């Protein structure tokens, strides 16, 4: 089972074991990561599950949909090249040990 490590802006690190096939947002919610709000529950209707992936991680993820790109325009925090909505990212076995940065605000 992959383990994801969420790093909040204050340095708090939360490790979450999550079965492959769940979304990164679900992993954060299940692990009580306070920086991932997920107001819409994964319906791609808000940007409150915004997170940052490294360049290498982002390169291995599926491309952003037009809708995800549009929703990121409403993110409260800075949008970076590795910005993604965690509800749109499915956990894979090869993501074990990934550190995912959580913005300072949603």
Q: What is the pLDDT of residue 7?
A: 98
Handedness of CA 68, 25, 7, 106 (dihedral sign): positive
Mean pLDDT value across residues 14-22: 97
Q: What is the pLDDT of residue 94?
A: 97
Q: How many domains does the chain have?
A: 1
Domain membership of residue 24 (yes or no) is: yes
Chain position carrying tokens 């919610």: 29
Q: Read off the pLDDT of residues 42-70 as tens digits, 9 standing for 90 and up.
A: 999 999 999 999 999 999 999 999 999 99
Q: What is the pLDDT of residue 51?
A: 98
Domain membership of residue 106 (yes or no) is: no
Domain that holds residue 31: 3-101
Query: What tokens were used for 38?
Result: 């997920």
User: What is the C-alpha to C-alpha distance for residues 7 and 70, in angstroms, rounded to an integer?
Assistant: 25
């Amino acid at each position: 089972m992959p383990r994801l490590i969420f790093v909040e802006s204050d340095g708090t690190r939360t490790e979450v074991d999550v079965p492959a096939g769940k979304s990164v947002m679900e992993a954060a919610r299940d692990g009580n990561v306070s920086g991932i709000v997920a107001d819409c529950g994964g319906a791609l209707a808000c940007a409150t599950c915004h997170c940052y992936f490294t360049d290498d991680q982002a390169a291995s993820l599926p491309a952003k949909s037009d809708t995800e790109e549009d929703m990121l325009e409403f993110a409260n925090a800075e949008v970076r090249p590795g910005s993604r909505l965690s509800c749109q990212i499915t956990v894979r076995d090869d993501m074990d040990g990934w550190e995912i940065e959580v913005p300072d605000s949603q």
